[in-house]
Structure 1
Amino acid sequence: MFGNRIYSKVLYLFFICLVAKFFFFDFLWCLQTTFVSCSRIETYLDAVLVTLVLLLPLVCFRAVKTTLAIFVLVDLLLVTNLMYFRTYFTAIPLSSYMLAGNLKDFTASVCDASRWMDLFFPLSTLFAGFVWWKYGRNESAEVPGSRFPLRYFLLILVTGLLSFGLIEMKRGYKAAFESLQNANMHTCGTPMYTVFGSLYYDYLREQVVYTPEIEKHINTWLADKPAWKPLPVKIEVRDNCILILAESLESWVLEKTVEGNEITPYLNKLLKDSTTLYAPYVLTQVKGGRSIDAQLLFDTGLLPIANGAYSTKFPSSYYPSVVKAFKEKYPGARAYGMTVDKRIVWNQNIVAPMFGYDQLLDKQSFILDERVGPHKKLGDVSFFRQCADKIEDGVVWNKDGHTFLQCVTYSGHNPFILPKELKNIFFSAEIPQRMNDYMTMANYTDRAIGLFIERLKQSGILNNTMVVVTGDHEGLADARSMLCDTKAGKGLVSDQQFTPLIIINSPVGMRYEKVMGQVDIYPTLLSLLGLDNYAWKGLGRSILDPDKKAFAIDPNYKVVGDAGDVSDEELRFAKDAWTVSDMIIRCDYLGRMNEGSSSVNQK
């Protein structure tokens, strides 16, 4: 305990220390995006309000140790959210706190997102604790003035009423937060309303109830979607399909030579083949689920939910898929998924069968004979070699019918650590280390895919199989702008989050040089596989549709591509697809529709 004079000084010190944490958090957050939130009074008002509330144990009970414990928890919350934001550009969703156990597989990526400036948070707590230990802990106790707690509560009340008033002027908290969901303000919610406010918004999102208004909104959007256009000429579709999701593979490394090193020589060779379809400008549209969001986009033609990962929040919703369409056309067809991760990561063990896969082969199905990355997971070369073995042995191949196979790689995961003995190319010290590591890893993945394709050729399987290679999402995250400004990266590293779409042995060979979204891959696959009769066409448009416009909407509602001939109404409609998809998944709209009819009708 300590006297009133020391008590007041410690309280002021702790208040300044805690409010400084929130203000510095806002600064680091805005440093990655925009400082627009710094011009909003909510940013300062809510930080002060939360600070006042968190200091109540100190004010009411002089509980310094409890307050310091609160400081430590706040530090953890703020730092982890900053690290998460540097990759995903959003705060950690409420549901993701229950998935903390998954982080052990991504520790290196998490650590890679830390910055030396983050030390301010634990150091400020240590400073406050040291000052109290040095000057206040041995002071004799005195009875505090009865007016001080009363004034303190009055201050909280006034601050709270001001904050509440600003929120009510915007028709409630949910509406206030959602008013920021546009291209310029989408990252401002957390600094304006604090991390706690973001968590509360996530909670409110979880309380969505399926209503006639929601059903009407979805029905209207789907009814207004342009009609499906089958290919004008008949194509020779393939009997089988292999979909490869290459971890963090971006387009800019393809067809590039740096310091005499061709980064992706095998894929470059495939791009010259007349039966290859290549689209280099596929805009990343994943959100909080990252790789599992990519599977949602490619397999179902749906966009990710607004917050969190659909695979953990709504794994049992009904999902039409390209796999189900494939099986509908070919009764008796089999579908397999293969990953080097554990099946529990992102709830893949539940999602895979919901998408129509008959079997998921995970980490335990492969021999760990080539270790890559900080957690020494199975490298891409060995992974694809073992995939080829399983195909040739009939473990994951329906030799008497049709097969759909999905392979998800891991080696390209941030921070792109590749053992020296596995490297085939080397760069000078003039290349920034992150760029060096990324290109080296891309070369390794290219070699792995090349060896796999050659095995398929030798076995004759490629003759009647379409192989789709695409990146699950971008990989450079917040390092992109820095690399684009370097001498080595300028003009080489793309300033946009583009992944490639490469379809080998495609019934339609072409080079699509326009911007498309990841959500457009699903309808494109339906077209190429001759699955036009499947009811669910997804939310995107096939790039084989001549009327498709050359733009896409990123997760932050930014328009990317050539939208010069796109009307405001078309842009509004495209942006609304994100809201519609969120409601479809969250309310299990497709499941409800499927229960009422034999199929999900969509033109």
Structure 2
Amino acid sequence: MNRFGNLCVRKARMILTAILITIGVFIWYKYERAHPETFFGTGKGYNLIVVQLESFQNFVLNTSIQGQLLTPVMNKLSSESLYFPHIFQQIGSGNTSDAEFISNTSIYPVGATPMSSKYGDRLLPSMARLLHQRDYVANTFHVNDVSFWNRNLMYPALGFDRYYDKPYYQQAKFNRFGASDEELYRVGIHKLKSLKQRHQKFYAQFVSVSSHAPFTIPDDNKRLKLNPELCKKPLRDYFTAINYADYALGTFIDQLKVAGLWEKSVVVVYGDHFGLHKKKFNPKEISTALGINYHKQISTFNVPLLIHIPGHHHGKIIDQTGGQIDILPTLANIMGIDLREEGFITFGQDLINIDHNIIGMRYYMPTGTFFNNEVLFIPGKKGFEDGKATSLRTHQLLEDITPYKTDYDHIIQWMKKSDKYVQQLPIRAEFE
């Protein structure tokens, strides 16, 4: 082949290479756009620490009153974590204990009966049992007596190996539930450090109570200084209690860092349920005090969810709508657990890797109430026919509800399936 022919071949190869590179970049771009970072296994092999914050609503994050941040610790944590701002409570009459049940099982509460009493005799598929298979131990911490809300039944049902309740804490009374959140975390750190020394991986759950209604805390523990004339007492007490709970969480994070556990643990923080009951607190008063748009249902039922993964120092906001029922599948993804391979049934979804979600609610709202990516739908007396759909983003009522009929029918059936599933779970040997 002559020199001209060789030159043509080289040029052809260069052009072909350029085309292939362009196609490759295009395919990569399209794939990345369609398949964002999955986070699967980013927490594999790490400890798992879950903090359930009492009466903690999402609106308090990144919010100030009279020039003071309500939650400086949570604000900073959200900037370094996966932050889910559109998560909603799904509890029934069991309240805080129902929140524990949902987050640990991804099963709906039945509503009128606390799950801790109705199904405390069962062998519940749970996060603890998933992690047991990976050589973890599972401990849970609560400053009240373990018999409160039948947790003495629920914790074994959920597969926790040990619970640390009232006798383990110094008995200086903080509120009507006992010791302070600071004391809860002090004891917890001591126990977790002991597990670390034995090279034992762990799942640890902490259930806080310092911000429990009626939100009265000792004067010495009040860090928020509010002008009484600008904020009525019940609301002022709530802000003060939430601010203390946030501070106490900060002491826990600091202790985890000193103990060398922070960078060895996936740390999850979420709210159990509302603090400001819509029948007792005026949304306009809250909106005026904080300069925000507070909705009597959407804002009331909206709770925070934050997941900090070791080595991830830059936060990511995940706007996907979700509920407490989605916590287990989301954490399973991060911990590197393939629930399909495990044959593990959930009624929630992995919030990191979905585009659409529907979560149901009952007890505090009519059965059939649901949140999806767009609206809060509340059935009326005739069910769907006279129901109302409110935009999650604008808080405005929508005139046309017909697009949401499929989601309504789905969530009614989905919760029925959850009820049937939990009913057929085996009874533990000691109760047979």
1:511 is aligned to: 317
Structure 2 counterpart of 1:503, which letter? I
Aligned to 1:416: 215
TM-score by length of structure 2 reads 0.76
Match of 1:539 in 2: 347
1:254 to partner: Cα distance: 0.7
SS in 2 for 1:335: strand
The 5-angstrom pairing of residues 267-346 of structure 1 reads 267-273=74-80, 276-328=81-133, 330-331=134-135, 333-346=136-149
| SS, match of residue 488 in structure 1 | helix
Query: What is the CA–CA distance in structure 2 between the aligned matches of 1:572 and 1:377, rounded to whole Å?
Result: 44
8 Å CA contact 1:462–1:505 kept in 2: the answer is: no
Report which structure shows greater RCO (CA 8 Å, sep ≥6): 2
Q: Distance in 1 between matches of 2:345 and 2:247?
A: 34
Question: Alpha-carbon deviation of 1:359?
Answer: 0.6
Greater helix share, structure number: 1
User: In 2, distance between residues paired with 1:456 and 1:447?
Assistant: 14
- 2:414 is equivalent to residue 577 of structure 1: yes
Alpha carbons 1:483, 1:489 under 8 Å: kept: no
Cα 1:376–1:480, aligned 2, differ >3 Å: closer, same or farther? closer
Say whether the 8 Å CA contact 1:323–1:356 is kept in structure 2: yes
Q: Specify the code of the residue in structure 2 equivalent to 1:575.
A: I
Give, in angstroms, the shift of residue 356 of structure 1: 1.1
Alpha-carbon shift at residue 238 of structure 1 (Å): 4.4
The Cα shift of 1:448 comes to 0.6
1:262 & 1:427 partners in 2: Cα distance? 11
Relative to structure 1, the CA distance from residue 238 to residue 269 in structure 2 (aligned partners, 3 Å threshold; closer, same or farther) is farther
What are the within-5 Å matches in structure 2 for residues 136-285 of structure 1? 231=38, 235-273=42-80, 276-285=81-90
Residue aligning to 1:558 = 369
Structure of greater Rg: 1
Alpha-carbon distance, 1:257 to partner: 1.1
Query: What corresponds to 1:399 in structure 2?
Result: 198
TM score, norm. by length of structure 1 = 0.55
Q: Which residue of the partner structure matches residue 389 of structure 1?
A: 190
Distance 1:494 1:458, change over 3 A: farther
Paired with 2:361 and 2:40, the residues of 1 have a C-alpha distance of 32
Shift of residue 231 of structure 1? 3.9
2:119–2:154 CA contact under 8 A, matched in 1: no
SS of structure 2 residue aligned to 1:575: helix
Task: State the SS of the aligned residue for 2:305.
Answer: strand
Question: 5+ unaligned residues in a row in structure 2: which ranges?
Answer: 1-35, 376-401
The alpha-carbon distance between structure 1 residues 481 and 531, as it changes in their structure 2 partners (threshold 3 A), is: same
CA RMSD of aligned residues (A): 2.6
Give the Cα–Cα distance (whole angstroms) in 1 for the partners of residues 316 and 123 of structure 2: 34
Pick closer, same or farther for the CA change 1:566–1:335 going to 2, 3 Å: farther
Where in structure 1 are there 5+ consecutive unaligned residues? 1-228, 596-603
1:20-62 alpha-carbon deviations (Å, 9 max, x no partner): xxxxxxxxxxxxxxxxxxxxxxxxxxxxxxxxxxxxxxxxxxx
Cα distance in structure 2, aligned partners of 1:485 and 1:462:
39
Name the structure with the higher strand share: 2
Pairs aligned (count): 355
Q: Check conservation: 2:144, 2:177, Cα contact below 8 A.
A: no
| Structure 2 counterpart of 1:214 | none
In 1, Cα distance between the equivalents of 2:252 and 2:272? 19
Q: How many Å apart are 1:522 and its aligned residue?
A: 1.4
Summarize deviations over 1:156-180 as a string: whole Å, max 9, x none: xxxxxxxxxxxxxxxxxxxxxxxxx
